[in-house]
Amino acid sequence: MCGASGAAFGVAILKKLIQKDSISQIALMISATGKRCLHDEVDLGPEDLVALSPKVSLRSDQNVGADIASGSYRQDGMIIAPCSAGALGRIAWGVSNNLISRAADVCLKERKPLVICLRETPLNRVHLENMLRLHDAGAILMPLMPGFYSKPKDFEDLFDTFALRVLDQLGYSDHDPRRWQG
Ligand SMILES: Cc1cc2nc3c(=O)[nH]c(=O)nc-3n(C[C@H](O)[C@H](O)[C@H](O)COP(=O)(O)O)c2cc1C
């Protein structure tokens, strides 16, 4: 989770990952500004997210020597939600100076799914070019743009429906009545 608005989306995605029986471990990274947004927007701290499940363990964004900084670490992929324009730029240009950007770099080089949920608007040319650059490098660009065709009954439903679509990208698909039925 980076320092962009939309912490609630990140929390919804984390909760959905926790529910998946096939997932045994979730390495959670929250940047310094990400912690601030998490607190300001949803009144939560990293410890609250770790407390959700024993599957969740925290990695310091400053620790570029953590397990997930290595391509030898076995993993299914990485979701950055919310992703700041700053993190987008760092990853697009290979500036692996913190764990989030290094772990993302590892996903790209190891050909593991990297889902980037950018939150910024409006988008300038740098953002657009960086998105295209990352798309071409294999990342999945999934800006925080939820669909409304499922008629979400509240914000939680909206966040959860978006989380469903994010998990689809990593192959963790569920039957869900909120999918478009035609
Ligand atoms: C309260 C707050 C909200 C922010 N919201 C956004 C945002 O929605 N999108 C964005 O790209 N940057 C946003 N920023 C700016 C980033 O947090 C800033 O560029 C930061 O350096 C990103 O670092 P990080 O990627 O390590 O979290 C916000 C900053 C603050 C303090």
Instruction: For residue 55, give the amino acid letter.
Output: K
In a domain, 179, yes or no: no
Cβ–ligand 1 distance for 158 under 6 Å, the answer no
Residue nearest atom 14 in ligand 1 by C-alpha distance? 4
In a domain, 20, yes or no: yes
In a domain, 178, yes or no: no
Give residue 177 CA to ligand 1 midpoint distance, Å. 34
Three-state SS for 95-115 is CCCCHHHHHHHHHHHCCCCEE
In a domain, 36, yes or no: yes
In a domain, 174, yes or no: no
156 alpha-carbon distance from chain centroid: 17
In this prediction, residues 136-140 reach a mean pLDDT of: 98
In a domain, 177, yes or no: no
Give residue 179 CA to ligand 1 midpoint distance, Å. 31
CATH label of the domain that carries residue 68? 3.40.50.1950
Cβ–ligand 1 distance for 36 under 6 Å, the answer yes
Per residue in 88-117, pLDDT (tens digit) is: 999 999 999 999 999 999 999 999 999 999
**How many structural domains compose the chain?**
1
DSSP class per residue in 107-162: HHHTT--EEEEE--SS--HHHHHHHHHHHHTT-EE--S----TT--SSHHHHHHHH
Q: Which residues contact 21 (CB under 8 A, 6 or more apart)?
A: none
In a domain, 1, yes or no: no
pLDDT of amino acid 174: 84
Q: What percent of the chain has pLDDT over 70?
A: 100
Which residues span the domain enclosing 44?
7-169
**Probe residue for ligand 1, chosen from 33, 64, 96, 144 as the CB with the greatest number of ligand atoms within 8 Å:** 33
Residue nearest atom 20 in ligand 1 by C-alpha distance? 3
In a domain, 54, yes or no: yes
Per residue in 144-153, pLDDT (tens digit) is: 999 999 999 9
In this prediction, residues 56-76 reach a mean pLDDT of: 97
Answer whether 0.85 is exceeded by the pTM: yes
Per residue in 169-178, pLDDT (tens digit) is: 999 988 999 9
